């Protein structure tokens, strides 16, 4: 249940912020939030991370669907009594993948808008995927493996 809440809240935040940007800014328009630090800049990302591999929508859609399916299978088949950092990481990655998939299917590109001027422009879904991947790496490196009692 908690996984569903994390996915839902992250996805709603992602889609609401993108809705605001698409409906209130023109492409490449930039608004300072904190001058010289953070800007809201509407960019259409037709590639993957940092705009690499532009105009490969079918490949990105297939990759997102594969990731979504694999994560859902893991969540459904592993019924845990309490949520772990691993579960949170999967929930964030799932929400981000769904959020960017919605954009690709709807617009043919991903709506990016968080602009720190020292890093490529990104969005809430990208942030969720990045944080989720870092948490997943952390759990894989530093968590004890679960050993099931075999009888």
Whether 27 is in a domain gets the answer yes
| Pair of tokens at residue 97 | 């993948």
DSSP 74-89: HHHH---SS--HHHHH
Residue 16's CB: how many other CB atoms inside 10 A? 11
| 90 or 60: which leads in pLDDT | 90
**To the nearest 5 percent, what fractions of the chain are helix, strand and coil?**
60, 15, 30
Share of the chain above pLDDT 90, in %: 71
Whether 104 is in a domain gets the answer yes
Whether 46 is in a domain gets the answer yes
User: Given 87, 103, 115, 126, which residue is catalytic?
Assistant: 126
Distance of alpha carbon 136 from alpha carbon 59, whole angstroms = 24
> Is 126 annotated as catalytic?
yes
Whether 147 is in a domain gets the answer no
Mean pLDDT over 25-34 rounds to 97
Whether 150 is in a domain gets the answer no
Bridging pattern class, strands 38-45 and 30-34: antiparallel
Whether 148 is in a domain gets the answer no
| pLDDT tens-place string over residues 80-137 | 778 899 999 999 999 999 999 999 999 999 999 999 999 999 999 999 999 999 999 9
Whether 23 is in a domain gets the answer yes
Report the chain's mean pLDDT, rounded to a whole number: 89
Count of structural domains, the chain: 1
Mean pLDDT over 73-79 rounds to 84
Whether 102 is in a domain gets the answer yes
User: Given 14, 87, 103, 112, which residue is catalytic?
Assistant: 112
In this structure, what are the phi and psi dihedrals at residue 114, rounded to the nearest 5 degrees? -80, 115
Distance of alpha carbon 68 from alpha carbon 104, whole angstroms = 15
> Is 112 annotated as catalytic?
yes
Domain that holds residue 19: 2-139
pLDDT > 80? residue 151: no
């Amino acid at each position: 249940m908690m996984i569903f809440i994390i996915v839902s809240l992250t996805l709603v935040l992602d889609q609401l912020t993108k809705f605001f940007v698409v409906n209130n800014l023109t492409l490449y328009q930039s608004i300072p939030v904190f001058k010289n630090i953070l800007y809201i800049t509407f960019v259409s990302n037709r590639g993957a991370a940092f705009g690499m591999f532009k105009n490969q929508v079918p490949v990105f859609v297939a990759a997102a669907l594969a990731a979504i399916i694999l994560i859902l299978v893991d969540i459904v088949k592993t019924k845990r009594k309490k949520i772990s950092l691993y579960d949170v990481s999967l929930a964030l990655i799932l929400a981000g993948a769904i959020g960017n998939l919605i954009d690709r299917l709807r617009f043919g590109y991903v709506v990016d808008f968080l602009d720190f001027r020292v890093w490529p422009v990104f969005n809430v879904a990208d942030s969720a995927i990045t944080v989720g991947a870092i948490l997943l790496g952390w759990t894989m490196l530093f968590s004890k493996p679960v050993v099931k009692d075999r009888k």
